[in-house]
Structure 1
Amino acid sequence: MVAGHCSFGSPDATLLVSLLPQLVHVRGEQRLATLVQLVREETREQRPAREVVLSRLLEVLLIEALRSTAGTSASPGLVRGLADGRLAAAIREMHEHPTHAWTVAELAKEAALSRSTFFERFSRAVGVAPMEYLLTWRMALAKNLLRRNEGRVAEIAQRVGYSSASTFSVAFTRHVGRPPTQYAREEQAAANGA
């Protein structure tokens, strides 16, 4: 048995973590057994660049563990949603075209499912409703743009699918808990060590 802890350095770690399965139980996966053996060997030796090698091995181990549980028995999350070919098509469209004014009907069409089937299947697999996922994705993009100071609020609003700065500001404030301008100021100050 191997137990571990992983933390994400991204400011949007909560988005990623919320979309991962709560528990990953893997049995009989040879690729994982090989990776575990490599991790075990690396931790016992004091070779040059040990920490770098361990870091990469653990990243691959996490990815492989998530991939091995991507079936319908996995707990809800993005990995399970992406494992479903039909849902994956809709998720990819949301990621590639966040500015599009998506509706559940359009996303269902991308997934080649009826609206009700798509909504239920997406919610069960991903753990959130499709439009909630889209909002969270847009907000993650907006936070990244604001942190990197890549435009005024009105420009960022358009880049993440909002027709007006005021509509975006209301949605952002509701989702993040701070207005976009305040968020940008505070994040940039934190990045600069102020």
Structure 2
Amino acid sequence: MLLPATPGFTMSGFEPVVPERIDAKASASPKGEVRYGTRGGRPDVRMLGGYFVFDSPDAALMVSLLPALVHVRGVERLSPLVGLVRDEASDQRSGRDLVLTRLVELLLIEALRSTSSDDAPPGLLRGLADVRIAPAIRQMHAHLTRSWTVAQLAKSAALSRSAFFDRFTRTVGRPPMEYLLDWRMAVARGLLRRREFAINEVAERVGYSSASTFTTAFSRRVGQSPGRYARAS
């Protein structure tokens, strides 16, 4: 089970119990196995927990484009990966942290792959799995500086303008031009954090003809000017 934005949740078995609140941020991280329920005997369920950290201030954009919950079932490729993670986590062999990092990255990719179907919740994964919408998304990513219109994107999807707009919004969870703006702002923030480009160069790289137009759009979307954002990063 993958939760891109972890909400509060309750775990229970079949017997009625009084929930015990646990604050993950305030509680000390457990070492080794933590057991709930009846002591002794074979456990009914074993769970292995972990987390991912997206090293970017645009993590909120990625999370908003992912399903709120990914429940993976019957994916045989995941079982050996989970076994390897369990083995590495329980041992103290050399290179443990590096191996765990790579294994957990593979787990994330495989879990996200499993949601790329028509019944996945609206988001980027569902959009990339849609044979009509995926070409438009890839065009936006590959040619960010182009002055895209809905009509041009609809042509790449082989759909009418209205059909494309409705299908994109339903599949991705936001209209095409709003998605394009969010993506441009995410790329712009990355460029500004690097402090290698002047604001007019950043504007040009994300599809704006002038620094003033870009500054207005960036300030409206991010809540501060590009210059101030770069200085604070």
TM-score, scaled relative to structure 1: 0.91
Q: Residue 84 of structure 1 corresponds to which residue in structure 2? A: 130
Which residue identity is paired with 2:224?
Answer: R
Give structure 1 stretches of 5+ with no counterpart.
Answer: 188-194
Distance 1:97 1:33 in 2: 38
Q: Does residue 7 in structure 1 map to residue 59 in structure 2?
A: no
Count of residue correspondences: 187
Other structure's SS at 1:100 match: coil
Q: Percent identity?
A: 64
Moved over 3 A (4+): 1-4
Which residue identity is paired with 1:87?
Answer: I
Residue deviations 1:55-92 (CA, integer Å, cap 9, x gap): 11111101100101110111121111111122111111
Match among 72, 82, 86 for residue 118 of structure 2: 72
Q: Structure 1 residues 54-63 or 7-16, which shifts more?
A: 7-16
Q: Tell me how far 1:114 sits from its aligned partner.
A: 1.5
Q: Tell me how far 1:107 sits from its aligned partner.
A: 0.5
Match among 213, 221, 224 for residue 167 of structure 1: 213
Q: Residue 112 of structure 1 corresponds to which residue in structure 2? A: 158
Q: Residue 134 of structure 1 corresponds to which residue in structure 2? A: 180
CA RMSD of aligned residues (A): 1.4
Q: Residue 22 of structure 1 corresponds to which residue in structure 2? A: 68
Q: Does residue 58 in structure 1 map to residue 104 in structure 2?
A: yes
Q: Tell me how far 1:3 sits from its aligned partner.
A: 4.8
Other structure's SS at 1:30 match: coil
Distance 2:48 2:150 in 1: 41
Residue deviations 1:20-55 (CA, integer Å, cap 9, x gap): 111001111100112111112222222211111111
Alpha carbons of structure 1 residues 2 and 22: separation in structure 2 relative to 1, 3 Å: farther
Give structure 2 stretches of 5+ with no counterpart.
Answer: 1-46
Distance 1:24 1:3 in 2: 15
Distance 1:3 1:130 in 2: 36
Q: Residue 192 of structure 1 corresponds to which residue in structure 2? A: none
Cα pair 1:173 1:179 within 8 Å, conserved: yes
Q: Structure 1 residues 129-138 or 10-19, which shifts more?
A: 10-19
Distance 2:60 2:193 in 1: 16
- Higher alpha-carbon Rg: 2
Match among 90, 101, 115 for residue 147 of structure 2: 101
Q: Tell me how far 1:11 sits from its aligned partner.
A: 2.1
TM-score, scaled relative to structure 2: 0.76
Other structure's SS at 2:144 match: coil
Distance 2:186 2:89 in 1: 35
